[in-house]
Amino acid sequence: MRKASPGSLRRAFQPWNDPAAKPLIEFRHVTKRFGGVTAVAEVSLSLYPREFFALLGPSGCGKTTLMRMLAGFETPDAGQILLGGTDITEMPPHLRPVNMMFQSYALFPHLSVADNIAYGLKRERLPRAEIAQRVAEMLALVKLDGLGKRRPDQLSGGQRQRVALARALAKRPKLLLLDEPMAALDRKLREATQFELMDLQSELGTTFMVVTHDQDEAMTMADRMAVMDHGRLVQIGPPDVIYEAPVNAYVASFVGDINVLEGHVVAVEGDLVRVETGITGMVELDEEAPALAIGASVLVGLRPEKLDLSHDEPPQPFNKVAGEIWDIGYLGDVTMVQVMVGGEGGWLVKVALTNRRRRAARPFAWEDKVWLSWDVEAGLVLKP
């Protein structure tokens, strides 16, 4: 088990809600095209000091380009990038107080671990003794003491990742960029490293920006995350907001699992919206729906873990549908059940059941006739 370190206690940290807070990084209407393809389109974004920010999106969504513009490897076609209020749009990478941990780690194969870490410090022409001291500090920070003389090819994947991290942190940058930092690690190591990275970040107070396509990674580590699609920022917010209140169907289905139903609005009474979906009948949602017109077509999203499964018909008038169990996937902590609704050839709805008791008999079996139900607050109205 991981020991709680004092730095890992996260206090309420929401500089983005504070109008007086000065951003460390500002993207202002940044656009980047490669040939005819727009990789980043009109992106405006502010990162705050000490923030752990994650850029999430599928490959090709422009997240790596956005990061590379921050490091100085790409120049925007339009817009500005500011660091601490200074325009760095045209500044070459070697002058920026920003360091990056590369996805491939990009360790210098001809240099030892210590020389790799010292590389940036030597460029600053620091005194020899100070370089040696900082290298030792960094090695201790990433728990690689004693391995300074090794060469990168004599290290394991996890150790190489730590060297890359130490090298990027050695210059004490204001902003650390991490490009898919966990991509090359196996699952166990990845989880451990995620928490270590968070501890390290709160200990050092450096602003971190992680680019990843892995939503678990982004949600675990980030104070705030942005979901990107086709070069645009679709939604920016803390992980729980992104998950529980996604702005549209794309975000809802990219972050986490979701069942999406098509329907049209039948009634709006205050916070209560009724949607007729055809498949499930009437759905009642507790949603601060912004002016939904009667008859408007909408998408209703239902997260698998917010659905209940029972053999008997629940008493409530709405928010339920009968179906048949089509598939059961036992994952250990949860069981994913797929329920077919709407008869043969109908729709498959995913339900996540938490396995709370160790020896309980599995209550559901293949081809069971079951009822799906959910609370009024479970459903989401999504923009298509």
Q: Which residues bind another protein (CB under 8 A)?
A: 71-73, 92-95, 98-100, 102, 104, 106-110, 119-120, 123-124, 149-150, 154, 167-168, 171
Among 343, 340, 103, 107, smallest CA distance to 211 is for 103
Closest approach of another protein to the CB of residue 76, in Å: 17
- Decide whether 81 or 236 has the Cβ nearer to another protein: 81
Query: Token digits for 177?
Result: 């960029």
Min separation Cβ 160 and another protein, Å: 13
Q: Which residues contact 221 (CB under 8 A, 6 or more apart)?
A: 52, 54, 194, 197, 198, 208, 210
We find the least distance from the C-beta atom of residue 223 to another protein, in angstroms, to be 24
Q: Phi, psi at residue 35, to the nearest 5°?
A: 60, -125
Say if residues 106 and 51 touch (Cβ distance below 8 Å).
no
Contact 175, 83 (CB under 8 A): yes
Q: How far is the CB of 77 from another protein (least distance, A)?
A: 20
Q: How far is the CB of 93 from another protein (least distance, A)?
A: 4
H-helix or E-strand spanning residue 371: strand 369-373
- Smallest separation (angstroms) from another protein to the CB of 150: 8
Residue nearer to another protein on the CB measure, 179 or 223: 179
User: Which H or E run includes 218?
Assistant: helix 215-221
The whole-angstrom separation of Cα 175 and Cα 97 is: 7
Cβ-based nearer residue to another protein, 157 or 343: 157
- The sign of the torsion formed by the CA atoms of 235, 237, 238, 240 equals negative
Cβ 331 to another protein shortest distance, Å: 36
Report which secondary-structure segment, H or E, holds 99: strand 98-101
Q: What is the DSSP string of 264-288?
A: EEEEEETTEEEEE-SSS-EEEEE--
Smallest gap from Cβ 146 to another protein, in A, equals 12
Q: Which is nearer to another protein, 183 or 266 (CB)?
A: 183
Q: State which residue, 1 or 95, has the beta carbon closest to another protein.
A: 95
Q: What is the smallest separation between the CB atom of 151 and another protein, expressed in angstroms?
A: 9
Q: How far is it, in rounded angstroms, from Cα 293 to Cα 266?
A: 9
Q: CA–CA distance from 236 to each of 75, 86, 150, 246 (Å)?
A: 23, 24, 42, 10
User: CA 59 from chain center: how many Å?
Assistant: 14
Nearer to another protein, 94 or 358 (CB): 94
Which residues contact residue 305 at a Cβ distance below 8 angstroms, ignoring those fewer than 6 apart? Answer: 334, 352, 354
Is the CB of residue 188 less than 8 Å from the CB of residue 132? no
Residue whose CB is less far from another protein, 106 or 292: 106
Specify the residue, 5 or 112, whose C-beta has the smaller distance to another protein: 112
Nearer CB in complex with another protein: 64/373: 64
For residue 34, give both structure tokens.
Answer: 């490669």
